[in-house]
A and B are shown apart, each in its own frame.
Chain A
Amino acid sequence: MSDQNLSVTLTVNGLERQLSVGRVDCLLDVLRGAGYKSVKRGCDTGDCGMCVVLMNGQPVRSCMLRAVEVDGAAVTTVEGLVAADGTLHPIQQAFVETGAIQCGFCTPAQMLLAKALIDTNPDPAEADIRQVMNSAHCRCTGYVRLVEAVQRAAAVMRGEEVPPVSHIALTLPGPDDPLQLPEPYYRRDQYATSVPLPPLVYTPPEMERTKYIGAPQVKVDAVKLAKGYPVFTDDVLPEGTLVGALLTSPHAHARIKSIDTSKAEALPGVHAVLTYKNVERVKYATGGQSWPQPEPYDQVVFDDKVRHVGDRVAAVAADDARIARRALRLIKVEYEILPAVVNMVKAMEPGTPVIHDEPDTEGIYDAQRNIVYHIEAEGGDVEKAFTEADHVFEGEYLTPKQQHVNLEPHVCVTYWDEDDRMVVRSSTQVPFHVRRIIAPLIGLPIKRIRVIKPRIGGGFGNKQEILLEDICSLLTIRTGRPVKMEYTRTQEFNASRSRHPNIIRYKVGVKDNTVTAMDLYLLGDTGAYGTHGLTVQMVGGFKGLTLYNPPNARFLCDVVYTNTPPAGAFRGYGSMQCQYGVEVIMEEIAEQLGLDAVEFKRNNWIKIGEPMHLSEALGEGREGQKQDLVTSALDECVRIGLEATDFYAKREQYKNQNGRIRRGIGFAVMIHGSAIAGLDMAAATLKMNDDGSFNLLIGATDIGTGSDTILAQIASEVLSIPVEDLIVYSSDTDFTPFDKGAYASSTTYLSGMAVRKTALKIKKMLLDHAAFMLEIDDPDTLTLADRKVTAPDGRSVTLEDVGLSSFHVENQHQIMATDSHISYVSPPPTAAQFVEVAVDMETGQIDTERLLMVVDCGRVINPITAAGQVEGGISQALGFALTEEMLYDDEGQPLNPRIGPYYIPRATDMPPTDVIFVQTDEPTGPYGAKSVAEISIDGVGPAMVSAVHDATGVWMRQLPLTPERVWRSLNGK
């Protein structure tokens, strides 16, 4: 905040507050400074809506209002919704119950918008709710459960009784039995709206029933997020925290000829300035991956060369943000501007400027051609199969550079603790990798670093990178003071990470309508640094050649540097790009051969029992594991989706359309993975308390996915206790066991197994001690259920009895266990995505009319949180398919580095979005679970192309399908 001392009086949540403010301080900063931490910062430009508060009952964006201009106003924040006795407001209660809260960062804004709406309209229509929700973005939920929450809250506030929130459970019919869905899932007649439907869960009759698993358990962190408690990184700062700020490059490619920091250092209130001149040059890679990370280590904390707009140049630590910004402006940098390389094809051409010409980076495949990685893998005899094929088809497909738009920016706080250890409180998906990777950068051993992960306001892979923790720690080391650093929204676009743009070339051999060979050439643009460049493309190649799993398959890949912000991990991780390519070419082949696309794909997709031919050749950055497909409900997913959408009838109906608006329906099938086979490791600890409750300590990082909750449900199932008897804590490198972090669709599958194994150990300890108490010889004869252990003769002891006894009375010991898990397989979830569209033939604009995903993610641990994962993934995938694309001019300058121009789907953009689960029982997963987080993003792109082709007859081979691209295809331009 600025240093002028003006006074304003605000009535905040009914309490009159006199606040000292600066002339230009915005209301957002003043409220947060006064302790109202539920008010969030997401952009500072009025685009995101995270900072919404009610002013005199009206929603306003507090970042756009100067505090001095609202003197005398009555302000309501989410803290003010909670009753004095702690009872939640009906809106908060509804958000908690419906699963509308995922990461929780947008929740306060959404709840206040809901309040303002319901206050003026007690019975809002769904369209009214969506219109209001347009004022604040949500990147997690796809808005489905948010709309449901507002409807539910309004009903409660009208005095109506509302039923418990749950899913609909049905028994999966056999393949020859008739299939009839509940009427709403056909989305016809009165259900042809976007009204939210509960997730539908089909269970095979033979699947074992569970008590806590499969229940719509409320998220364990939902209440604190609903109350707006200070649970995010920036919400709690140590006394005397300095503000760190980053100077970034205005040029895409330049050498720093000189840098003068003297004026910045002389500015009162500035405590440290860091540049390449005063920070040790240690090579590293920012990708938060297991040790050893793939080479090359092509970054240093600060360099004398910048390789993209937004690259690091200098950092300062100052008393406040205003001084820090002034200090950045006082740093004089003289650049030698170099030609920028923006195009990934041109990057490889001879004579193109070399982006990484530094001598100390090892492991670049061909630095002179900007090729950082070259990958080759082959199974079978591809050339022979092409020669013998009846037909050979080729196609090229392009995918865009997509930004995560995690609404909580990257933010980090560092400080020395009382033992002179560096504490890093960071919004990260990978706390253990952060600790290991920054150690050499800041010159401290791992044992002197503690990383704490609080609640995370969305990550989607972007926080699987080490972006601020090193600089922030160095500033703390230089100043001896706590330091906070946070990306601006512009820096999120220019200095964080993105999805890799790809050029995808498939060549497919078909004999007797069977795919006998596939050749995939993949060109990936990793931007200025390698980070996840190798592993993303390897996953892309593996999944893109395994969905149809031909015995003869070849993968060739080049990953190139360009002078654009680095790409990194992003939900879907290469798989969604390549499955887009393979799904579209399979549809094109079916059309050319005159085959029904569904049947053609069904005949060729991977079946249960088949070996995945490239699983050993294509691991993630290393050799993989031999794997077979053990469980799959792809047939059932497609069958249900075809029925729910009336697919064939619509395909028939849409033939020979000739109007301006033409409708189409499309579909795609997908597989994904569950953790990285043979590499990822997770661990869990359970510790009993006197009252029979347990601490569940997990290194797994819940970034809004609900993983804390489903891990607790797994422990509950084993121990037969309700989730409220478990106190879940994640994650802190000092106190929770190792987990590699939240990525690779691993937490449910891998961390879940770690929890299950740990809980089984605890169960044995409980039974042993209870047997001792009950004087029973064989603990195996005891039954653990409903918080007690019962002997065959009916005598029992409660878990509280066991706790008290084991702590204080007899055979005293701590009932506590830790176990870990690694899997040598990565069982694929499978799914079918259906998309319905209306295409404007004159403008090329696509209106999406329905999105349906039918998913086999193994056992569904929590139908509400799982549905939330799918709905959110679908929403991000819709952006990928239609709007989201980071664009640059020829000099590498970004053209749309803001949320508004970049454009992510808003509430009114989302069509009816439905989720149906088909459960399978994966033998290697906890209670049969696989993963769900990433497969949800894989299908909308190709299904959209399929639908647009059905409507228009053209094949769209470049995403996103902007109106102009569609128009050009329709007009042969």
Chain B
Amino acid sequence: MTGSVGDSFIEITRTSGEDGKEYVSLPLQLMVQAAVDCEDTPAPLRRTLTALPWQRRAATTLERAVYSPDRIPEAAAALLALDARVALADGAQVPIIEFFARTSASQSPPASLLLPVDRADCCWGSARVARMSADQPIVAAVAVVKSEGTIVGSARLALIGVCRETVRLSQSVDLLVGKELNAEQIEAAAAAVAQEVSPVSDYLGSAEYRREMAAVLTRRALEQIREGENRL
């Protein structure tokens, strides 16, 4: 598998993470379009990157997408929901959530994105609200759930537009773990999300609206997962 970096092509490889899991490694110099074209790119990331205008996908590197999560906020949300990692130039790895939060101890620059390869029993869902379809989202949600039989093994939910930055919520979706993903649990998780977020009003929407949409869009993302629409 190769991807373009400017005029040249580079190998897209798989690697082991510090957590022992296998990851596909996307160099950050890779153009966004190459990441879209890469068959190992998980669907939620591909879909969110595709929201970037075509011309900009060809001219924007993954590094820029990762370093400027506000420019491609839904891609950042997808990375958070996927539990991606960032490999640094010094060989260290940091979870994407730490990378975005700038809490990593390492000062080394990032080198590549690490995306989990093991996606068995994983489903994802996403939902957004915007003024128009091609506009930036006012609020958006991306969720990834791993099932263990009929119950939720793990769940991750990332949201845009409900805090100062794109965030991954923990408390709300933890309610789902160990339970069946049914309408009642989804409603409970959505209600918890509305409590957990701390939105800020701006010209696109008030805090009240954003809080309500956090719940609505979380519910929709989880319903897609329950219906098994999108396998990772």
Q: Which A residues fall within an 8 A CB radius of B? A: 46, 49, 52, 56, 58-61, 64-65, 113, 116-117, 131-132, 134-136, 840, 842-845, 847, 882-883, 887, 895-896, 900-901, 903, 905-909, 960, 962-964, 967-968
A408 to B56, CA, bound (A): 22
A429 to B212, CA, bound (A): 47
Per CB-CB distance, the 3 closest pairs between chain A and chain B, nearest first, are: A135-B55, A843-B129, A59-B55
Q: A843 touching B59 by the CB < 8 A rule?
A: no
Q: B53 interface residue, CB < 8 Å from A?
A: yes
Stretch touching chain A among B9-17, B96-104, B132-140, B146-154: B132-140
Q: B58 interface residue, CB < 8 Å from A?
A: yes
A964 to B201, CA, bound (A): 12
A842 to B54, CA, bound (A): 30
Residues from chain A with a CB closer than 8 A to the CB of B212 are 967
Q: Which of B96-144 contact A (CB under 8 A)?
A: 129-136, 138
Q: B171 interface residue, CB < 8 Å from A?
A: no
A842 to B216, CA, bound (A): 7
Q: B173 interface residue, CB < 8 Å from A?
A: no
Stretch touching chain A among B21-29, B86-94, B202-210: B202-210
Decide yes or no: A887 and B203 within 8 Å by CB, A113-B55, A903-B135, A908-B134 being known contacts.
yes
Q: B81 interface residue, CB < 8 Å from A?
A: no
Q: A134 touching B54 by the CB < 8 A rule?
A: yes
Name the residue of chain A whose CB is nearest to the CB of B127: A843
Q: B213 interface residue, CB < 8 Å from A?
A: yes
Which one, A49, A908, A960, contacts B55 given CB within 8 A? A49
Q: Could you list some 9 contacts between A and B, CB below 8 A?
A: A60-B59, A844-B129, A847-B133, A883-B132, A883-B135, A903-B132, A963-B138, A967-B209, A967-B212
Q: B184 interface residue, CB < 8 Å from A?
A: no
Q: A963 touching B130 by the CB < 8 A rule?
A: yes
Q: B7 interface residue, CB < 8 Å from A?
A: yes
**15 further interface pairs, Cβ-Cβ under 8 Å (given A136-B55, A909-B134):** A49-B53, A59-B55, A113-B55, A116-B55, A132-B54, A134-B134, A135-B53, A843-B216, A844-B129, A845-B130, A883-B131, A903-B135, A905-B132, A964-B138, A967-B209
Interface flags, B173-212, vs A, CB<8A=1, else 0: 0000000000000000000000000000011111001001
Which one, B54, B133, B204, B213, contacts A135 given CB within 8 A? B54
A901 to B134, CA, bound (A): 12
Most buried by B among A135, A903, A907, A964: A964
> Nearest Cβ distance between residue A333 and chain B, in whole angstroms?
28
A908 to B133, CA, bound (A): 7
Counted as pairs of residues, one from A and one from B, with CB atoms less than 8 Å apart, the total is 89
A113 to B133, CA, bound (A): 21
Which one, A113, A132, A906, contacts B132 given CB within 8 A? A906
Q: B54 touching A962 by the CB < 8 A rule?
A: no
A64 to B56, CA, bound (A): 11
Q: B53 touching A134 by the CB < 8 A rule?
A: yes
Residues from chain B with a CB closer than 8 A to the CB of A900 are 136
> Nearest Cβ distance between residue A897 and chain B, in whole angstroms?
11
A847 to B6, CA, bound (A): 37
> Nearest Cβ distance between residue A95 and chain B, in whole angstroms?
18
Which one, A49, A56, A116, A840, contacts B129 given CB within 8 A? A840
> Nearest Cβ distance between residue A113 and chain B, in whole angstroms?
6
Q: A61 touching B56 by the CB < 8 A rule?
A: yes
Name the residue of chain B whose CB is nearest to the CB of A885: B203
Q: B132 touching A909 by the CB < 8 A rule?
A: yes
Residues from chain B with a CB closer than 8 A to the CB of A905 are 132
Q: B55 touching A52 by the CB < 8 A rule?
A: yes
Name the residue of chain B whose CB is nearest to the CB of A911: B133
Residues from chain A with a CB closer than 8 A to the CB of B202 are 895
Which one, B59, B131, B217, contacts A59 given CB within 8 A? B59
Interface flags, B49-61, vs A, CB<8A=1, else 0: 0000111101100
> Nearest Cβ distance between residue A774 and chain B, in whole angstroms?
62
Which one, B59, B129, B205, contacts A61 given CB within 8 A? B59
Residues from chain B with a CB closer than 8 A to the CB of A842 are 216
> Nearest Cβ distance between residue A130 and chain B, in whole angstroms?
9
Q: B209 touching A59 by the CB < 8 A rule?
A: no
A132 to B212, CA, bound (A): 33
Residues from chain B with a CB closer than 8 A to the CB of A61 are 55-56, 59
Residues from chain B with a CB closer than 8 A to the CB of A134 are 53-54, 134
Decide yes or no: A901 and B205 within 8 Å by CB, A131-B54, A134-B54, A963-B129 being known contacts.
no
A789 to B39, CA, bound (A): 71
> Nearest Cβ distance between residue A296 and chain B, in whole angstroms?
32
A135 to B134, CA, bound (A): 11
> Nearest Cβ distance between residue A52 and chain B, in whole angstroms?
6
A892 to B190, CA, bound (A): 37
Name the residue of chain B whose CB is nearest to the CB of A60: B59
Name the residue of chain A whose CB is nearest to the CB of B209: A964
Residues from chain A with a CB closer than 8 A to the CB of B129 are 840, 843-845, 963
Residues from chain A with a CB closer than 8 A to the CB of B203 are 887, 895-896, 901
Q: A903 touching B53 by the CB < 8 A rule?
A: no
Residues from chain B with a CB closer than 8 A to the CB of A907 are 134
A134 to B55, CA, bound (A): 9
> Nearest Cβ distance between residue B191 and chain A, in whole angstroms?
14
Name the residue of chain B whose CB is nearest to the CB of A70: B6
A75 to B22, CA, bound (A): 40
Residues from chain A with a CB closer than 8 A to the CB of B133 are 847, 908-909
Name the residue of chain A whose CB is nearest to the CB of B136: A900
Q: A58 touching B205 by the CB < 8 A rule?
A: no
Q: A58 touching B58 by the CB < 8 A rule?
A: yes
Name the residue of chain B whose CB is nearest to the CB of A894: B203
A710 to B199, CA, bound (A): 54
Residues from chain B with a CB closer than 8 A to the CB of A887 are 203
A375 to B141, CA, bound (A): 51
> Nearest Cβ distance between residue A730 and chain B, in whole angstroms?
34
Residues from chain B with a CB closer than 8 A to the CB of A963 are 129-131, 138, 205, 209
A59 to B29, CA, bound (A): 18
> Nearest Cβ distance between residue A551 and chain B, in whole angstroms?
42
Residues from chain B with a CB closer than 8 A to the CB of A116 are 55
Residues from chain A with a CB closer than 8 A to the CB of B205 are 962-964
A903 to B134, CA, bound (A): 10
> Nearest Cβ distance between residue B57 and chain A, in whole angstroms?
9
Most buried by B among A49, A136, A843, A907: A843
Residues from chain B with a CB closer than 8 A to the CB of A113 are 54-55
A60 to B55, CA, bound (A): 6
Residues from chain B with a CB closer than 8 A to the CB of A46 are 56
A906 to B202, CA, bound (A): 23
A785 to B204, CA, bound (A): 61
> Nearest Cβ distance between residue A710 and chain B, in whole angstroms?
32
> Nearest Cβ distance between residue A844 and chain B, in whole angstroms?
8
A278 to B41, CA, bound (A): 63
Residues from chain A with a CB closer than 8 A to the CB of B55 are 49, 52, 58-61, 113, 116, 132, 135-136
A908 to B54, CA, bound (A): 12
A136 to B134, CA, bound (A): 13
A113 to B54, CA, bound (A): 9
Q: Which of B37-69 contact A (CB under 8 A)?
A: 53-56, 58-59
> Nearest Cβ distance between residue B219 and chain A, in whole angstroms?
9
> Nearest Cβ distance between residue B159 and chain A, in whole angstroms?
14
> Nearest Cβ distance between residue A656 and chain B, in whole angstroms?
23
Residues from chain A with a CB closer than 8 A to the CB of B134 are 134, 906-909
Q: B131 touching A962 by the CB < 8 A rule?
A: yes
Residues from chain A with a CB closer than 8 A to the CB of B216 are 842-843
Residues from chain A with a CB closer than 8 A to the CB of B54 are 59, 113, 117, 131-132, 134-135
A117 to B54, CA, bound (A): 9
Most buried by A among B55, B133, B216: B55
A912 to B116, CA, bound (A): 41
A116 to B33, CA, bound (A): 14
> Nearest Cβ distance between residue A641 and chain B, in whole angstroms?
24
A56 to B7, CA, bound (A): 8
Residues from chain B with a CB closer than 8 A to the CB of A132 are 54-55
A896 to B205, CA, bound (A): 13
Name the residue of chain B whose CB is nearest to the CB of A56: B7
> Nearest Cβ distance between residue A960 and chain B, in whole angstroms?
8
